[in-house]
Amino acid sequence: MLNLSKLATAVAVVVAAGAAAAGEVEVLHWWTSGGEAKSVAELKKIMEGKGHTWKDFAVAGGGGDAAMTVLKSRVVAGNPPAAAQIKGPGIQEWAREGVLANLDATAKAEQWDNLLPKGVADVMKYKGNYVAAPVNVHRVNWMWANAEVLKKAGVAAAPKTWDEFFAAADKVKAAGLIAVAHGGQNWQDFTTFEDVVLGVGGSKFYQDAMVKLDQKALTSATMTKVLETFRKIKTYTDPASPGRDWNLATAMVIDGRAAFQFMGDWAKGEFTAAKKMPGKDYICAAAPGTGNAYTFNVDSFAMFKLKDAGAQKAQADLAASIMGTQFQEVFNLNKGSIPVRLNMDMAKFDDCAKMSSKDFVATAKSGGLVPSIAHGMAVSPSAEGAIKDAVSQFWNDDKISVADGVKSIAKAATTR
Ligand code: GAL
- Determine the pLDDT at residue 11: 47
- CA-62 nearest atom, ligand 1: 12
CA–CA dist 48, 53 (Å, integer): 6
- Residues 251, 133 share a domain: no
Ligand 1 centroid – CA 9 distance (Å): 50
Q: Is the pLDDT of residue 4 over 90?
A: no
**Has residue 2 been placed in a domain?**
no
- Determine the pLDDT at residue 13: 44
**Has residue 57 been placed in a domain?**
yes
Residue whose CA is at the smallest distance from ligand 1 atom 4:
266
**Has residue 43 been placed in a domain?**
yes
3-class SS at 283?
A: strand
Q: Which strand (E) or helix (H) includes residue 217?
A: helix 215-218
**Has residue 321 been placed in a domain?**
yes
- Residues 385, 243 share a domain: yes
Ligand 1 centroid – CA 62 distance (Å): 6
Contact 159, 195 (CB under 8 A): no
Q: Shortest CA distance to 88 belongs to which of 127, 119, 62?
A: 119
- Determine the pLDDT at residue 52: 96
- CA-376 nearest atom, ligand 1: 7
- Residues 348, 316 share a domain: yes
- Determine the pLDDT at residue 6: 53
Q: Is the pLDDT of residue 38 over 70?
A: yes
Q: Look up residue 230 and give its amino acid.
A: F
- pLDDT tens-digit series, residues 140-173: 999 999 999 999 999 999 999 999 999 999 999 9
Ligand 1 centroid – CA 10 distance (Å): 48
- Residues 255, 404 share a domain: yes
- Determine the pLDDT at residue 3: 54
**Has residue 7 been placed in a domain?**
no
**Domain carrying residue 27:** 13-138+296-366
How many domains would you assign to the chain? 2
CA–CA dist 413, 76 (Å, integer): 28
- Residues 278, 171 share a domain: yes
Ligand 1 centroid – CA 265 distance (Å): 9
Residues of 213-244 as b/e, b for ≥16 C-beta within 10 angstroms?
Answer: bbeebbbbebbeebbebbbebbebbbeebeeb
- pLDDT tens-digit series, residues 10-32: 444 444 444 446 899 999 999 99
- Determine the pLDDT at residue 22: 85
Mean pLDDT of 218-239: 98
Mean pLDDT of 169-178: 98
- Residues 246, 168 share a domain: yes
Q: Using a 6 Å CB cutoff, which residues line ligand 1? A: 30-31, 36, 62-64, 138, 246, 266, 297, 299, 375
**Has residue 169 been placed in a domain?**
yes
* Residues 147, 149, 154, 158, CA torsion sign: negative
- Residues 215, 200 share a domain: yes
Q: Look up residue 369 and give its amino acid.
A: L
Which CATH number characterizes residue 65's domain? 3.40.190.10
- CA-246 nearest atom, ligand 1: 6
